[in-house]
Amino acid sequence: MTGPFYGIYGASGCGRGILPLAREMLAAAGVSADRLVFIDDKPPAEVLNGHRVLTYQAFLAIPAPERFAALAVADSGVREKLADKCQADDVQPWSVRASSVVIMDDVVLGDGALLSPTVTITSNIRIGRQFHANIGSIVEHDCVIGDFVTFAPGVICNGNVRIEDHAYIGAGAMLRQGRPGAPLTIGRGAVVGMGAVVTRDVLPGVTVAGNPARTLDKD
């Protein structure tokens, strides 16, 4: 085969949600659907949603001048390991976005972003590598988001918020607006629970939930 080959790494729910968006992007670029596959280390089937499911090694064995992979794995630590593995094997990061995504002014978006339908990213925003923004999520002005951050569906991230690497923001969570020079900060590896309303900084590695969001006690 000639021409690039494309893979969605992960054949579970996240991957199956991203695949139709990838297929639409490739079709718009005139790329045949047979150049798009799932990659999975433990393939659940030979074919899913009309596309082959290959192991990573089988993906690498396909004759192609270039290979691209979108990392559709929710666990940010696993996502980072996969990104490192792909880089070592010259598999290029691939960003996938729905046609309904709105990106406004002065937005810097790192490699490998997966942006689901109706995501909105407004103005003067910096986002790192391998960002996942699920359906209906919003990033408002003057936010800085690190690498391997995940937004579940319906997150509202107001302006002047800083989110450090590997943070996870649960479905329907709302992050209060910060101030210029004093952003609301979500620390590295923190988890914001579903529906939480975050009104103050979240320390690295902790889990918060509720309205207003509070740190959950460890068992």
Assign residue 63 a region (left: φ > 0; alpha: ψ between -120 and 50; beta: otherwise): beta
Active site residues: 141
3-state helix, strand, coil in the chain (%, to 5): 15, 30, 50
What does DSSP say about strands 96-97 and 114-115: parallel, antiparallel, or unpaired?
parallel
* Ordered DSSP codes for 49-116: TTEEEE-HHHHHHS--S-EEEEE--S-HHHHHHHHHHHHHTTEEE--EE-TT-EE-SSEEE-TT-EE-
Nearest to 190 by CA among 203, 172, 171: 203
CA 179 to each of CA 141, 176, 185: distance values in angstroms, whole numbers, following the listed order: 11, 10, 11
Eight-state DSSP code of residue 16: H
Query: CA dihedral in degrees (121, 155, 110, 107; nearest 10)?
Result: 20
- Cα(92)–Cα(83) distance, rounded to whole angstroms? 9
Nearest to 38 by CA among 63, 67, 16, 66: 16
